A and B are shown apart, each in its own frame.
Chain A
Amino acid sequence: MNFELSDEQALLRDSVARFVSQHYSLEQRRKVLLLEPGYSPEHWRAMAELGWLAVPFAVEDGGLGGSPLDIMVIMEQFGAGLVLEPFLASILLGGAALRHGAHAAMKREWLPQVIDGSKQLAFAHGEPQARFDLQHVATHARCEGDDFVLEGTKSFVLNAASAAAFVVSARTRGGVAERDGVTLFLMERARPGVTLRSYPTVDGGRAADLTLQSVRVPRTSVIGAVHEGTSIVTAVVNDAILALAAEAVGAMHALYRDTVQYTQQRSQFGHPLADFQVLQHRMVDMFSEYQLARSLLYRATMEAAQAALDSNGGTQLDSALKAQLEGALKAQRAVHALKYLVGRAGMFIAESAVQLHGGMGMTEDLRVGHYLKRMLVIDLLFGNAEHHLQQFAGQPSQSGLAG
Chain B
Amino acid sequence: MDIELSPADLQFQQEVRAFLTEHAYQPGMDEGQWRRRWFAAAAAKGGWDVPRWPRDFGGPGWTAAQHHLWDLETAAHTLPSDSPFGVTMLAPILMAYATPEQQQRFLPAIRARTVQWCQGYSEPGAGSDLAALKTRAVLSAAGTHYVVNGTKLWTSAAHLADWMFCLTRTSEGARRQQGITFLLIPMRQPGIEIKPIITLGGRHHVNMVHLTDVKVPIENRIGKEGEGWTYAKGLLQHERVGIANIARSAVALAELKRAARQLPCGSGCLLDDPSYRLRLAAVEVDLMALEFTELRSLAAISAGLPVGPESSILKLKGTEIQQRIQKLALEAAGLRGAEWGAMGVTTDAAREAFESYLIGRASTIFGGASEVQRDVIWKNVVRLPQ
Q: Is B346 an interface residue (CB 8 A)?
A: no
Cβ–Cβ contact A389 & B295, under 8 A = no
Partner of B378 from the list A4, A280, A302, A401 (CB cut-off 8 Å) is A280
Query: In the complex, what distance in Å separates the CA atom of A240 from the CA atom of B214?
Result: 67
Chain B interface: which of A52-60, A201-209, A292-300? A292-300
Contacts of A294 in B (CB 8 A): 310
A111 sits at the interface (CB 8 A): no
Residues of A contacting B277 in the complex (Cβ-Cβ under 8 angstroms): 393-394
- What is the chain B residue whose CB lies nearest that of A1? B65
B282 touches A6 (CB 8 A): no
Q: Which of B34-90 contact A (CB under 8 A)?
A: 63-65, 68, 72
A402 on the interface (CB 8 Å rule)? yes
Contact A296 B292 (CB under 8 A): yes
| A-side contacts of B309, CB under 8 Å | 287, 291
Minimum Cβ distance to chain A for residue B367 (Å): 17
Could you tell me if A402 and B375 are in contact, using CB atoms closer than 8 angstroms? no
Give residues 335-350 of A contacting B (CB, 8 Å).
Answer: 337, 340-341
A389 touching B282 by the CB < 8 A rule?
yes
B284 touches A302 (CB 8 A): no
Kindly supply a per-residue 1/0 record for chain A positions 155-173, scoring 1 wherever the CB is within 8 Å of any chain B CB and 0 otherwise: 0000000000000000000
Determine the distance from Cα of A305 to Cα of B309 in the docked complex, in whole angstroms.
Answer: 26
- Report the minimum CB–CB distance from B39 to chain A (whole Å): 27
Query: Smallest distance from the beta carbon of A250 to chain B beta carbons, Å?
Result: 14
B378-A298 in contact (CB<8A): no
CB-CB < 8 A to B371: which residues of A? 281
Cα distance A334–B63 when bound, in Å? Answer: 24
Distance, CA A288 to CA B6, complexed state (A): 31
Q: Closest residue to B381 on the A side, CB-wise?
A: A287
Residue of B nearest to A283 (CB): B382
Count of chain A residues near B, Cβ 8 A = 49
Point out the residues of chain B lying under 8 angstroms from A257, CB to CB: 386
A residues in contact with B300, CB < 8 Å: 3
**Is B383's CB under 8 angstroms from A260's CB?**
yes
Verify if B278 is at the interface (C-beta below 8 Å from A): yes
Main secondary structure of the interface of A (DSSP, over half): helix
B291–A1 CB distance below 8 A: no
Contacts across chains A and B counted by CB atoms under 8 Å: 142
Known: A1-B9, A284-B378, A389-B282. A295 touches B65 (CB 8 A): no
Determine the interface band of chain B, counting residues with CB < 8 A from chain A: 35 or more
A274 to B299, CA, bound (A): 32
Residues of B within 8 A of A334 (CB): 288
User: Closest A-chain residue to B373, C-beta based?
Assistant: A284
Interface residues of B in 255-284 (CB under 8 A from A): 257, 277-278, 280-282, 284
Given A1-B295, A288-B317, answer yes or no on A306-B382 (Cβ-Cβ < 8 Å).
no
Residue B115 lies at the interface, judged by CB distance under 8 Å to chain A: no
Residue A15 at the B interface, CB < 8 A?
A: no
- Cross-chain contact B1 with A298 (CB below 8 angstroms): yes
Asked if B2 CB lies within 8 Å of chain A CBs, one says yes
For A291, the chain B residues whose CB sits under 8 A away are: 293, 309-310, 313
The distance from the CB of A261 to the nearest CB of chain B, in whole angstroms, is 8
Q: Are B64 and A403 closer than 8 Å at their CB atoms?
A: no
Tell me the residues in window 93-108 of chain B with beta carbons closer than 8 Å to chain A beta carbons.
none
Cα distance A285–B370 when bound, in Å?
11
- B374 on interface, CB distance cutoff 8 Å: yes
Of residues 306 to 335 in A, which have CB atoms within 8 Å of B's CB atoms?
Answer: 306, 309, 334
A285–B310 CA distance with the chains assembled, in angstroms: 12
Instruction: Enumerate chain A residues within 8 angstroms of B284, measured Cβ to Cβ.
Output: 337, 392, 402-403
Closest 6 CB pairs of A and B: A393-B281, A302-B3, A295-B292, A292-B289, A296-B289, A1-B65
**Extra inter-chain contacts (15) besides given A277-B375, A296-B285, CB under 8 Å:** A1-B3, A1-B6, A2-B2, A69-B1, A256-B382, A281-B375, A284-B374, A291-B310, A292-B317, A298-B296, A306-B2, A340-B282, A341-B289, A400-B288, A402-B288
Query: Can you list 16 A-B pairs with a CB-CB distance of less than 8 A?
Result: A1-B65, A1-B299, A2-B299, A3-B299, A6-B1, A277-B375, A280-B375, A284-B374, A284-B382, A299-B289, A302-B2, A337-B288, A341-B285, A341-B289, A389-B285, A393-B281
Question: Chain B residues in contact with chain A, CB under 8 A?
Answer: 1-6, 9, 63-65, 68, 72, 250, 253-254, 257, 277-278, 280-282, 284-293, 295-296, 299-300, 303, 309-310, 313, 316-317, 371, 374-375, 377-378, 381-383, 386
